[in-house]
Structure 1
Amino acid sequence: MIKRYSFTGSSTADALLKAKAELGDDFAIEVTKQIRAKTLNQDPLFEVVVCVEEEEQNPLSELNKIEQVNDIKRQIEAYTNLGKNRQTSQSTPKATPKEQWQDEDVSMSISRVANEIKNLASANDSEPSPLNIQPDYSAKMRDMEKKLDKLNDKLSLIADAVWEDKKEARGEIVIPPEFATIYKKAASSGMKSEHLKAIMEATIANMPSSMKNNPSAIERYFYFLLEKMLPSKKIMLSQKKQKIIMLIGPTGVGKTTTLSKLAYKYAYDGEIQYKTGVITLDSYRIGAVEQLAQYAQVMKMRMVEAINIEEFKSAIKAFSGYDVILVDTLGSSQYDTEKLTLLNEFISSVDADIEVNLVLSANTKIEDLLEIYDNFSFTNISSLIITKLDETRIFGNIFSLVYETGVPVSYFCLGQNVPDDIMEANSNFLVKCVLEGFDGSSK
């Protein structure tokens, strides 16, 4: 059997050394290619694919069965912990004798199923080695499948009992047990409770009845529904019509770093390289201006500082022959009316369309996000840029912001690296962040 392995390195030779260290000399080179060009702060990346002839392994389905057993064990442990948490919660009223009997009954059932699984797993461990499969192996596997089916049925009954017992904690939302998995994901995402209620009710009411008994189908439908609720926007550029893009937002959200990433993206990272200029209005933070100037110098890009409105007008005229003008603004608290007023004067002073992007940090709680949006909304915000996705694991706040304001997201910033850690927004990615979290794999 031919098996392929992939190795990467800063050069083809480097990747081959890694292949030799792991596989020895018994391999053949199949493909060599460059998968990332050299950038401002990163070396190039090359990939080498090699193939090795190995003895064919017999794919043994019993390994899948063992994983099924382990998966059921994990689920039971989760429900057991749920029951323990319920019993130890100080806020839970003392159970009546009937309620206490129900809890003990569920716990006993879980214990019995867990014990059966333990016995089944132990029996499986004592099965003959895959290298010495007995003639009655298929019959044993069928017997094991039947036992697993019975255990799954028992687990479903226990899960339904626990889910029904906890319904008061879900408030006014009536959630069938089949929706439990997706409800828990959404409830732990940090989105506003009223949004969660509205979405779950819409899902239950509108989902075809043929799908409602299938948790996998329910999850797919829920993902699809959330994607439709989250608008995203692609900023369109043209060499025929100039685009002025201004980044606004509170202090510390990463406007200057984001602008540097966009400058590189528009000027170098695409099929069309747009002539790009930078204007900074942030004369308050000397370090930020120096940082932006350094990036502009490395990218061989013109940058102009504008301290007042007249200088801003002159800078716009100086870039009249450019395809894109990126404008970095001073960071401002949503409560600083003086700076907000000055920002409005800058925007309204020029006779040109300015596309305003509000930059917000993903690790900001939803109440603050909505307040920031409201206080900056006088600028006629075109889209949102969400930064610092790598600094949080909860994204329901971003969902609720977009859902409530209806303003699309144009970019996500995934980290601090310039120019790499930025991506065009799409609804599918945000929904996955909301329900599954962000692990950095999309960088």
Structure 2
Amino acid sequence: MADPAARRNPEPSARRIVGLALPALGVLAAEPLYLLFDIAVVGRLGALALAGLAVGGLILAQVSTQLTFLSYGTTARASRRHGSGDERGAVEEGVQATYLAVGIGLAIVIAVQLLARPVVDVIAGGGDIATEALQWLRIAVFGAPLILVAMAGNGWLRGVQNTLRPLRFVLAGLAVSAVLCPILVHGLLGAPRWELAGSAVANVVGQSVTATCFVAALLRSGVSLRPRPDVMRAQVVLGRDLILRSLAFQACFLSAAAVAARFGAAAVAAHQVVLQLWNLVALTLDSLAIAAQTLVGAALGAGHAAQARGLARRLTGWSTVFALALAAAFALGHTVIPPLFTGDAAVLGQIDVVWWFFVAIMPVAGVVFALDGVLLGAGDAAFLRNATLGCAVVGFLPPIWLSLEFDWGLAGIWSGLTVFMVLRMLAVVWRTSSGRWTVVGADIQAGR
């Protein structure tokens, strides 16, 4: 007689993997694509406004991405429940993650409003850039709880292998933002010209639409909405390692922005443009990592360690080929893409300095992000925490601060990112090859 778990979790076909990855790609790429659009709209105001958006956007992004456990941790836990046949338990993970998202998000709003001025001054070095960044940040931070609710919603829906509904929800919100942004920034159609503040207002309105859709999906699911402190506590335990991992990223990218700001408005604006393109590429590659996380978690939840190992090999190969194709496309577009975001000659000159670093690290990222997804699906968060912290301390932070000391400019900053990615690749390849992550069971805590 066939194993019931095997019937629930047959070997995923290529069509099934693509069916999970493509909508996930849409979700992951939609936000950075909108941010690039936002940059293009604000960029027409000049380098100062663009630099203010760069600093303010970085602060808000780093505050929210520190809490990626609300998406990735929820996916890991929900996918194990889904793989074991506990569908209600999988959705209830989303309920508890949403409660956490609202509570943490409100705390972020209060903290940022209190600390916005000194934080912006530290990163921007004071002056006009800090003033521009502050007005954007004080408005945009009201979207923090909404961003976190969307993270939790993406997490549980991915865990039950539904990546299409999150795509619809995210696109609905971004469509609203995309319409409002140019209207409010430039005062089109008789609207007031709010300039940089208009960008922040448009963001918050769109985020409210997306968050409402995710909450409505939970209300329609029919599961209990009762808060469960034990489940929330378990989510936070898993999130602890992911938060520390995110802090390593924060330290690196905040340091990079702070150093870039010391090189002037053109340098920080160029850094922001290429960094957003990098985020677009990273999140695009992460679509296969989402499929890996979802399918690996379900396979281990059902007791299929061999299937999980096969998925790791298969999806890493696909991701690497995809990354090579992206690298070729951006290499060919090096004279065409940057002018889409700014006409400022000084900013374009700085972009040219870092463009080939950006292209060179894409194939490395193809391996790193796929195997990150595999290990996250397995709940191997403690290893990812240690690896990321070590690679950041050794490979990324030293070149950033040496760039300031020796005036290496953006080339020094992006050299650090390159070394960081290579070290992470070596770490995750070693870990995956060891097989120590393939611990089976419905409860993710059993795999730690």
How does the TM-score come out when normalised to structure 1?
A: 0.20
Which structure features the higher share of strand residues? 1
Larger Rg: 1
How does the TM-score come out when normalised to structure 2?
A: 0.20
Which structure features the higher share of helix residues? 2
Higher RCO, Cα 8 Å, sep 6+? 2
